[in-house]
Structure 1
Amino acid sequence: MGELAADKHVKFILSVEKRKDDFESVAMEHLRMNGAYWGLTTLDLLGKLDSVDLHEVVSWIMSCQHESGGFGGNVGHDPHILYTLSAVQVLALFDKLDVLDVDKVTNYIVSLQNEDGSFSGDIWGEIDTRFSYIAVCCLSLLHRLDKIDVEKAVHYIVSCKNMDGGFGCTPGGESHSGQIFCCVGALAIMGSLHHIDKDLLGWWLCERQVKAGGLNGRPEKLPDVCYSWWVLSSLIMIDRVHWINKEKVVKFILDCQDTENGGISDRPDDAVDVYHTYFGVAGLSLLEYPGLKPIDPAYALPVDVVNKIFIGK
């Protein structure tokens, strides 16, 4: 089994930020806030967060905030709940949540809860259980979870549960590993995991492991490094992670590294990107790979960051 090329991955992440004009950078411009979260959290897990300029990052993040309280994916882009969570998570990494007008951000998120307990992503009204997770996670990190109707939020997520134990993006939607993480994570944060059939869901999730060792998002799909996070975190939250072969997942992730230039891809020999680099390293952290900081499976932030927010340590 190979080793994690940690130093190369740090260099890769730092180089991505400097490239402003290549195709990948231009194509990613609208979700730069998410990219900042993926890259900076990876650096923190690798113990290298101090290699970026804290004040520069915080200043850029705050320049993406709108009068509504929500954040855009980049300067001048419309606010969305997706980017609002990433902004809060990055500020949490740097222990800089105090720069926020918490009430303003809270009011923005609260305004997106619908009568049935679901959440819209922005003023245009798309509904998805991803947005339920984001709202719950974000408000919890800000100590404002009591500002939404938690009971209705739980009820809506439970209404998206399927006969196979999994969850979809709306009621009746197909079970998918990414949506399952969102629903399990939100229920975990709201203290409502008792609504899950852990054995049934655990069985569906452990069946996502293919012969190559990697994990997929739903039946008959190819494995993808990002599901190392979505599947493993869910299995950990429902206490069924021992049902998969951890060594094989580790090998699959390590096989997806570019050991020369850094970065991790979705599958071996594909092009690397920040998204899969983060989820690969985060997956290895969940599997307690040596040299990585532990990550919280519900909040998707390093455990020490979460502890500082909730217990002040």
Structure 2
Amino acid sequence: MSLAAGPGRGHVAVGQLPEELKLVVDKHVAYIQSLDTRKDELEYHLTEHLRIGGIYWGLTALHLLGHPDALPREGLIDYVLSCLCESGGFGAAPGHDAHILYTGYSVQILTMIDGFGALEERLPDCKQKIARFVASHQQPDGTFAGDEWGEIDTRFLFSALYTLSLLGYLPHQRPSEPPLINLPAATAYIKACQNFDGAFGVSPGAESHSGQVFTCVGALYIAGELDSYLGEEGKDRLGAWLSERQLPSGGLNGRPEKLVDVCYSWWVMSSMAMIGRLHWIDKAKLTAFILQCQDPDEGGMADRPGDMVDVFHTVFGVAGLSLLGYPGLVEVDPAYCMPRHITAQISK
């Protein structure tokens, strides 16, 4: 399925927005740059378990904002390498246990900054070793455990597939080699997570949730089975559920009867982009909602207007605006949450 810009993508007419609702690009760049200078604050140390994720979120936002070099490349490489474990996986911070989520973030960071050469010096055959770490966590039923302790989640399955895809180790990327993972079992598990409403839950029979829809739709897309599994009727049913996540404020929620949150500008719309139903969202109202969530003075975005900003909501707000075609932003890949011009270089 083509995810290129088309009738479903649309564009936002910035000239029609009031001045206070313009994207403050320079403020957002400065905000992200400042995050690593706050080491004297308690919050910095309390969020150590989010460090590698925070770097990925901030770096992705900078790429989409058109400032890919705003963070020092060598510093990024050094920090990511400091999170490398003997197993070939990466932890959330130096000294933390390896986990599939943080391994995925690390691979995304290294891909965006072209850092695998530096990693190769420390870990020869690094891509293969990382891929084997990921593959070693697949369970007999096709799911993936996040780490050696065995927690199962569709997030981990999706992370495993996109990580292997970026590394070039999915079965269809290496047809002449024995497959590292059982891809049919993985996609069968994802399909079992779909509910009667067309959406997906964290496990078979679990409540539908926008975040899990993204991981499941993304996994099927990366596996090359999204179109064949859903078909047009299935896409309509899922698209209807996703479009109902938009509330009168213009914002999106994760499931019925919940509050809007700017991060669902990504979880909902990325899925709608992958199934070709992005035009079912009121783009003007959502654009206005996202822009109301930014701090126009200090930069950054919050979950809702008036709340405290953080880098997590900043990247997904910016990525949401990219999906909406906001002028000046780099186009985002809805499956990988990375710049499309970078993922386009990957043999998928």
Interval of TM-score (by shorter of Structure 1 and Structure 2) = over 0.9
Structure 1 CA distance for aligned equivalents of residues 285 and 185 of structure 2: 40
Runs of 4+ in 1 over 6 A off after TM superposition: none
Deviation for aligned residue 1:22? 1.5
1:172 corresponds to: 205
Q: Secondary structure at the match of 2:129?
A: helix
2:306 to 261, 269, 279: 269
1:44 to 51, 54, 63: 63
TM-score normalized by structure 2?
0.88
Deviation for aligned residue 1:307? 1.6
1:110 and 2:135 matched: yes
Structure 2 CA distance for aligned equivalents of residues 28 and 57 of structure 1: 18
1:29 and 2:54 matched: no
2:286 corresponds to: 249
Q: Secondary structure at the match of 1:91?
A: helix
Map 1:1-313 → 2, pairs under 5 A: 1=17, 2-98=21-117, 99-100=119-120, 101-146=126-171, 147-193=180-226, 194-196=228-230, 197-310=234-347
Gaps of 5+ in 1: none
Structure number, greater radius of gyration: 2
Alignment RMSD: 1.0
Q: Secondary structure at the match of 1:49?
A: coil
State the structure with bigger RCO (CA 8 A, min sep 6), 1 or 2: 2
TM-score normalized by structure 1?
0.97
Q: Number of paired residues?
A: 311
Q: Secondary structure at the match of 1:272?
A: coil
Deviation for aligned residue 1:80? 0.6
Deviations 1:217-248 (A, max 9, x none): 00001110000000000000001111110111
Structure 1 CA distance for aligned equivalents of residues 320 and 36 of structure 2: 23
Deviations 1:152-202 (A, max 9, x none): 111010011111111111111111000000000010011111223111110
Deviation for aligned residue 1:310? 3.1
Gaps of 5+ in 2: 1-16, 121-125, 172-179
Deviation for aligned residue 1:65? 0.7
Structure 1 CA distance for aligned equivalents of residues 69 and 109 of structure 2: 13
Q: Secondary structure at the match of 1:264?
A: coil
Structure 2 CA distance for aligned equivalents of residues 52 and 58 of structure 1: 11
Deviation for aligned residue 1:50? 1.2
